[in-house]
Structure 1
Amino acid sequence: MSQLQHQIEQFLYRESRLLDDRRWDEWIDCYHPRVEYWMPAWGDDDYLTSDPQQEISLIYYATRDGLEDRVYRIKTERSAASTPEPRTTHAISNVEILSSDGDQHQVRYSWSTWSHRYKQSEVFFGHCLCTLVQEDNQLLIKRKKIQLNNDYINHVIDIYHL
């Protein structure tokens, strides 16, 4: 295994663990200030929406400001959808470096999240396409496109489910 592969995997594992541990401030530090965080919705004909500006998305934040606002609402219990916060366990697999150009890397990985709240457990699963950049000797997520493969969900999906 290459050193870069190992470094990217460890970074992705840490980002997921921070969600499980509800360490919101450290989690948000994994993201570049100009990150695009996007989960497109499934269309009627089994296709994903392709334009977050003109089509529906399950989650879309054009910059880290949106993620920071979401984290603020979760931390201050100003989010009814997140109260109480679910217990989660994230698993990441099939981490693949698609391309690497200097300090920028295109990565694809599969994920699943087990979530438990209100005496009910659920599993969410899919894959992510990420652009990771190396800045000041650390990796940051500059773009994250999340494909949720569960077709039907019973409630609002949130950042901790992914």
Structure 2
Amino acid sequence: MPSFDIVSEVDKQEVKNAVEQANKEVSTRFDFKGTDARVEQADYVLTVYADNEFQLDQAQEVLNNKLIKRTVDIKCLEIGKVEKITGNKVKRSVTVKTGVEIELAKKIVKEIKDSKLKVQASIQGETVRVTGAKRDLLQDAIALVRKQIADFPLQFQNFRD
């Protein structure tokens, strides 16, 4: 039976490259001269540091631009609140979300069932597997999910006949 998986993945190496490029640009920009502005990465958690909130927003914008250029969808970023460190220095944590969350997976399954397409959707960990009798039905299901879920980056992988 033909099937495919709906996943949400981010290339960790591309995120690392974007962080390195953002740090390089921040270190050479005139408006960041003599400041402690930087971006640090620990797995899928990025921490943006700066001397004040304005510079923090500017560093965040540089990071977002670099992520976009590296084809990382910034809709998967969960931007945290601004935290004070010492004196005027501030930081913000940014989490890169991977995997389809349970609520979103349930929403995808519900949308597919409500569409009356002759396909079955099941949640398998952080992926949603869709199976059907014909390839055309699966392509219709992909089009439906793309149209319904536009606020979160999804990929359709493992398409098998």
TM-score by length of 1: 0.23
Instruction: Answer 1 or 2: higher relative contact order, Cα 8 Å, separation at least 6.
Output: 2
TM-score by length of 2: 0.24
Structure number with greater Rg is: 2
